[in-house]
Structure 1
Amino acid sequence: MHPAIRAAGKTTAATAHARSASLPHEHPHPVLAHLDDSIHALRSWLARGAAGQSSGIALVDATLAALGELLALPQAVAALHAAAATACDQILEMLLVLADAYSTFLSALVTLKQSAAELQVGTRRGDGAMVAASLRAHRRTEKELCRLVTTMRHAARGTLRTLDAKNSEVIGIVADVAAATVEASASIVMGCAAMSADMPDLFQKVPSNKWLARLSVRPPAKKAAPETAMAALERLEKLVECIDGPETGSEKVFRRLLQSRVSLLNIITPF
């Protein structure tokens, strides 16, 4: 295997040295060069401030797609056969943690979208109880997303810190992909959690709508001020649009992670 991956992020010096001690760096395998570029693009997105959750998820998806190409190489298969079983098991566990995280993330995005739709209905109807319930659902989902970030980072630290990749270049490469994916995914999830963080303030700042400010039931005949309802509805519409991209992208990433795990499992499992 050719060491085309640069020592990006938190790659250890030992791993970087092991890679540089292989074939001439000026002739990388095209698949490894592509994976290298994908990781670099993902880390560059993070370095620029991780702007745009949809863009970030697309880069994660591209990186995992490149990883899939790597795992299909005969050289990678041979290297993984020779790798320590413990290291392979740790990588499998890390991929499972990430897949579970994206499954939870996808469910949370669906919930955010649903509560935003209910907020739209409640705002149009002037239904304070419905608005209050929808805002509570928003807050619960935001907290769930924050917990998800903590879980992902904790699992990654526990797995990648103890991972011994110095004797397997491919394990080191997969670990690099996992580390970059965790780092980017944490930023993506936090960004999505912040999408609707201003939602309670949007409803509470308008003094003419006391039912919104108090988040309590109001007489049915009392309607929200048109300008207030319009501002809220416009904000909610933008929120739904912002969720659409990450929702579609997270489903793709979830499937990529499962595919990567299955590929690795098939490689290391004896027939």
Structure 2
Amino acid sequence: MMTPKMVAHFRRSVSFSNTASPPPPSSSSASNTARKRLHFRSTSLPTRSHPILFQLKFHLNQLKSQWASDTLPESFSSGQVSDALVRLRTILESLDDLLDLAPSRDSLRRHPDWVEKVLEDFLVMVDVYGTFQMQISTLKQCNVAAQLATRRKDGMKMVTCLKGLKKSGREIYKLLPFLQEIREHPHDLCGSSSDPDLDIVGVIKEVIEVIIMISEALFGGISGSFETRKTSWIMGLKKAKREKGIKELKNGIWSLRNINKDEVLNKKMMQQMEECIDGIESGSEKVFRSLINTRVSLLNVLTQ
């Protein structure tokens, strides 16, 4: 797997929403978050009460509560996905700014072996998102071809497009084991519970956990959207079970399989599917860039 070239890193001010709590997941929450900002500039020690750490942990907790695997519904919307990707990018940029503080760098330099392990994990995540971007591009091409086939009512072409979508879904699903490997890596830092370095170490651990959580939901949601119904037998009754997925993608696949049904509805569903894929591509590309920047910041901790 190719490793993206590292890019230059620039210092930023830290920005967070000044709302009491982040808005519920929706397609408009990203713009609402972007409109209202408070700016913190500080060079004090990154203790638990530090504004950057406090707000960063707040956003981390919000994503954890919304995207825990045992609380996810059978389907979630593209708006929820876009909101999660925006928040994930904000968290990564905030961590990047936290790493710009001299006290944070000093704390991490006392644990070079731990930083090296985290650098390896971020390299894997960068590679995973680089591959994911390529698969999303393929999904877009298949979707464009599917819309054309729908307008022409070309059944053979639609079957080909469905196979292409399912193949991309399977390729995306293959990315999940790489995330699982990172999840199983030990990220604890040996030392006293009163060690002040544990604050910065702890927040980096939480960031990694949330990246994996959101990524697993996203990748699994896309691949699950393209799967057919699974059947199971319960007390002698045949029942159909749907994979977890993203509503707009699942509806788009349904419309492709039912070309002779409501033409207006099919067109609407295919359009929503296109918008969903575009949103995922845009949001994940920004997360990809933020992952690269954060890894560069971690690398600078050891080299500067």
TM-score (norm. length: structure 1): 0.74
Q: Determine which of 60, 76, 96 is the counterpart of 1:68.
A: 96
Q: State how 1:180-219 maps to structure 2 within 5 Å.
A: 180-193=210-223, 194=225, 195=246, 196-197=249-250, 201-205=254-258
Partner of 1:164: 189
**d(CA) in 2 for partners of 1:203, 1:24:** 54
Which stretch shows the higher mean deviation, 67-76 or 45-54? 45-54
- 1 CA distance for matches of 2:149 and 2:177? 33
More strand by share: 2
Task: After TM superposition, give the deviation of residue 200 of structure 1 in Å.
Answer: 5.3
**Residue by residue, what CA displacement relative to the aligned partner does 1:127-185 show, whole Å, maximum 9, x if unpaired?**
2332122111101011112111232122331x2x2653546422332122111111121
Q: How big is the shift at 1:81? A: 1.2
Which sections of structure 1, spanning at least 5 residues, go unmatched? 1-21, 207-224
Deviations 1:91-128 (A, max 9, x none): 00111111111112222222112111100111112323
Provide closer, same or farther for how the CA distance between residues 143 and 23 of structure 1 changes in structure 2, counting only shifts above 3 A.
closer
Mark the structure with the bigger radius of gyration: 1
Query: Paired residue for 2:56?
Result: 35
Contact 2:252 2:273 in 1 (8 A): no
Q: Which amino acid aligns with 1:58?
A: V
* CA deviation string 1:64-112 (max 9, x = no partner): 11111110111101011111x3211110011111111111222222211
Q: Which amino acid aligns with 1:164?
A: L
How high is the sequence identity, in percent, across the aligned residues?
27
- Tell me if the contact between 1:38 and 1:66 (Cα under 8 Å) persists in the aligned partners: no
Separation in 2 of the partners of 1:183 and 1:165?
25
Instruction: Give the RMSD, CA atoms, in angstroms.
Output: 2.5
Name the counterpart of 2:82. Answer: 54
Q: TM-score, normalised by structure 2?
A: 0.67
The aligned length equals 225
Q: Label 1:72 to 1:162 Cα distance change in 2 as closer, same or farther (>3 A).
A: closer
Partner Cα distance (1:185, 1:126) in 2 = 35
Match of 2:174 in 1: 147
Over residues 19-67 of structure 1, what are the superposed CA-to-partner deviations in whole Å (9 max), with x where a residue is unaligned?
xxx9985xx1111112112211221221463842111111111111111
Higher helix share: 1
Unaligned runs of 5+ in 2: 1-44, 226-245
